[in-house]
Amino acid sequence: MNQNQIKEKANELLSQMTLPEKVAQIMQLSYAHLSEEERVMWIDRGIGSLLHVMGSEAQRFQDKTMETRHKIPLLFGIDCVRGHAMNPAATVFPCQLGMAAAFNPEMVQRAGEVSAVEVTEDALHMVFSPVLCLGRDTRWGRVDETFGEDPYLSGELAAAMVKGYQGDGEMRQDTGVLACAKHYLAHGESTGGRDSYDVPITNRKVLETFAPPFKKVIDAGCKSIMTAYHTIDGLPCTANRWILHDLLRNIMGFEGFVITDWDNAGRLFWQQFFSPDMRHAAKTAIEAGNDMIMSTPSFYEAAISMVESGELDEARIDEAALRVLSVKLEMGLFGEKRSQFNHKKASKMACEEHLKINSEFTNQTVIMLENKNNVLPLSRDIKKLAVVGPNADNISSQYGDWTFYTHPLPDFTKVPESVNISIWDGINTIAKDSGIKAALTQWDGPVSKYSRQSAPDPQDVQSIQRAAEDSSTDSTCEAGEQPTTPNLEKILKDCEGADVVIAVIGDDPTFNGEERDRADLDLPYAQQKMLEVIKEAGYKLIVVGVTGKPLAVKWVKENADAVLWTFCPGMYGGSAVAGVLFGDINPSARLPISFPQHSGQVPVYYNQLPGWHGEKYIDLPKEPLYSFGYGLSYSDFSFENLLCPENVKANNKEDICISVDVSNKSKKDGTSVVQLYFRDMVSSITGTPVKQFKGFERVSLKAGETKKVSFKLPMDELAIVDYNLNRIIEKGVFKITVGDGQYLEKEFEVI
Ligand code: BGC
> pLDDT digit string (tens) for 664-685?
999 999 999 999 999 999 999 8
pLDDT score for 412: 87
pLDDT score for 474: 46
**What does the DSSP 8-state code read for residue 28?**
E
For the chain, give the mean pLDDT.
94
How many beta carbons lie within 10 A of that of residue 736, not counting itself?
23
Ligand 1, atom 6: nearest CA belongs to which residue? 262
pLDDT score for 616: 81
SS3 209: helix
Q: What angle do CA 493, 498, 504 make, to 5 degrees?
A: 80
Model confidence at 422: pLDDT above 80: yes
Backbone angles phi, psi at 300, to 5 degrees: -60, -60
pLDDT score for 484: 85
Percentage of the chain surpassing pLDDT 70? 95
Q: How far is the CA of 160 from the centre of ligand 1 (A)?
A: 22
> What is the C-alpha to C-alpha distance for residues 526 and 480, in angstroms, rounded to an integer?
15
Ligand 1, atom 12: nearest CA belongs to which residue? 79
SS3 83: coil
Model confidence at 45: pLDDT above 90: yes
Model confidence at 646: pLDDT above 70: yes
Across 125-145, average pLDDT? 97
Q: Are strands 231-232 and 257-259 parallel, antiparallel or unpaired?
A: unpaired
Across 83-95, average pLDDT? 97
- Given a contact cutoff of 8 angstroms between Cβ atoms, the answer to whether 570 and 398 are in contact is yes
Amino acid at 554: K
Model confidence at 612: pLDDT above 90: no
Across 187-210, average pLDDT? 95
Atom index in ligand 1 nearest the CA of residue 128 equals 10
Backbone angles phi, psi at 318, to 5 degrees: -60, -45
pLDDT score for 479: 46
Model confidence at 551: pLDDT above 70: yes
Instruction: Name which of 160-174, 295-309, 608-622, 700-714 the model is least confident about.
Output: 608-622
Q: How far is the CA of 57 from the centre of ligand 1 (A)?
A: 21
> What is the C-alpha to C-alpha distance for residues 385 and 454, in angstroms, rounded to an integer?
40
Atom index in ligand 1 nearest the CA of residue 145 equals 9
Across 442-463, average pLDDT? 69
How many beta carbons lie within 10 A of that of residue 496, not counting itself?
11
Across 633-641, average pLDDT? 98
Across 42-46, average pLDDT? 97
Q: What are the C-alpha distances in Å from 570 to residues 79, 429, 513, 578, 646?
A: 16, 18, 15, 14, 46
The pLDDT tens digits of the residues spanning 252-287 come to 999 999 999 999 999 999 999 999 999 999 999 999
pLDDT score for 476: 45
- Given a contact cutoff of 8 angstroms between Cβ atoms, the answer to whether 736 and 677 are in contact is yes
Q: How far is the CA of 117 from the centre of ligand 1 (A)?
A: 22
The pLDDT tens digits of the residues spanning 97-119 come to 999 999 999 999 999 999 999 99
Amino acid at 745: E
> What is the C-alpha to C-alpha distance for residues 262 and 514, in angstroms, rounded to an integer?
13
Report how many helices (DSSP H) and strands (DSSP E) the chain contains, helices first: 22, 27
Model confidence at 467: pLDDT above 90: no
Q: Are strands 367-371 and 49-51 parallel, antiparallel or unpaired?
A: unpaired
Nearest to 211 by CA among 180, 249, 178, 172: 249
pLDDT score for 450: 62
Q: Where are the beta strands (DSSP E) in 296-396?
A: 367-371, 384-388
Query: pLDDT band at 27, cuts 50/70/90?
Result: very high
Q: How far is the CA of 63 from the centre of ligand 1 (A)?
A: 26
- CA 727 to chain centroid, in Å, comes to 27
Across 632-645, average pLDDT? 98
Q: Where are the beta strands (DSSP E) in 513-553?
A: 541-547
User: For 205, how many CA atoms within 13 A lie in the half-sphere containing its CB?
Assistant: 12
Cβ neighbours of residue 748 closer than 8 Å, sequence gap 6 or more: 644, 645, 646, 647, 648, 656, 733, 734, 736
- Given a contact cutoff of 8 angstroms between Cβ atoms, the answer to whether 746 and 736 are in contact is yes
Atom index in ligand 1 nearest the CA of residue 79 equals 10
> What is the C-alpha to C-alpha distance for residues 116 and 108, in angstroms, rounded to an integer?
12
Ligand 1, atom 8: nearest CA belongs to which residue? 261
Mutation choice for ligand 1 from 79, 82, 237, CB with most ligand atoms inside 8 A: 79
Mutation choice for ligand 1 from 29, 96, 190, 262, CB with most ligand atoms inside 8 A: 262
Element at 424 (helix H, strand E): helix 423-434
- CA 566 to chain centroid, in Å, comes to 14
The pLDDT tens digits of the residues spanning 695-742 come to 999 999 999 999 999 999 999 999 999 999 999 999 999 999 999 999
Q: How far is the CA of 186 from the centre of ligand 1 (A)?
A: 15
**What does the DSSP 8-state code read for residue 245?**
I
Mutation choice for ligand 1 from 225, 229, 261, 264, CB with most ligand atoms inside 8 A: 261
Q: Which residue has the higher pLDDT, 171 or 252?
A: 252
Amino acid at 125: H
Atom index in ligand 1 nearest the CA of residue 295 equals 5
Q: How far is the CA of 47 from the centre of ligand 1 (A)?
A: 19
Q: Burial level of 5, CB count in 10 A (0-12/13-18/19+)?
A: exposed
Q: Are strands 637-643 and 656-664 parallel, antiparallel or unpaired?
A: antiparallel
Across 381-406, average pLDDT? 96
- Given a contact cutoff of 8 angstroms between Cβ atoms, the answer to whether 122 and 74 are in contact is no
Across 449-468, average pLDDT? 59
Backbone angles phi, psi at 53, to 5 degrees: -140, 150
Across 591-610, average pLDDT? 95
Amino acid at 639: F
Q: How far is the CA of 32 from the centre of ligand 1 (A)?
A: 14
pLDDT score for 337: 84
pLDDT score for 451: 64
Query: pLDDT band at 480, cuts 50/70/90?
Result: low
Q: How far is the CA of 130 from the centre of ligand 1 (A)?
A: 12
First to last CA, the chain: 47
Amino acid at 571: M
pLDDT score for 477: 44
Maximum CA pair distance of the chain? 81
pLDDT score for 473: 45
Atom index in ligand 1 nearest the CA of residue 196 equals 8
User: For 732, how many CA atoms within 13 A lie in the half-sphere containing its CB?
Assistant: 16
Model confidence at 475: pLDDT above 70: no
SS3 709: strand
Model confidence at 162: pLDDT above 70: yes
Q: Where are the beta strands (DSSP E) in 414-561?
A: 437-440, 500-506, 541-547
Long-range contacts of 531-535 (CB under 8 A, 24+ apart): 531/503, 531/505, 531/555, 531/556, 531/559, 531/560, 533/488, 533/491, 533/492, 534/388, 534/491, 534/492, 534/495, 534/501, 534/503, 535/559
- Given a contact cutoff of 8 angstroms between Cβ atoms, the answer to whether 232 and 206 are in contact is yes
Nearest to 648 by CA among 608, 674, 678: 678
Q: How far is the CA of 262 from the centre of ligand 1 (A)?
A: 6
408 upstream amide cis, omega within 30 of 0: yes
> What is the C-alpha to C-alpha distance for residues 136 and 152, in angstroms, rounded to an integer?
13
> What is the C-alpha to C-alpha distance for residues 144 and 100, in angstroms, rounded to an integer?
10
Model confidence at 30: pLDDT above 80: yes
Please list every protein residue whose CB sits less than 6 Å from any atom of ligand 1: 79, 128, 182, 261-262, 514
Q: What angle do CA 557, 560, 564 make, to 5 degrees?
A: 75
Across 399-428, average pLDDT? 94
Backbone angles phi, psi at 740, to 5 degrees: -160, 95
Atom index in ligand 1 nearest the CA of residue 228 equals 8
User: For 302, how many CA atoms within 13 A lie in the half-sphere containing its CB?
Assistant: 21
How many beta carbons lie within 10 A of that of residue 335, not counting itself?
13
Does this model's pTM top 0.85?
yes
Q: Are strands 637-643 and 706-713 parallel, antiparallel or unpaired?
A: unpaired
SS3 750: strand
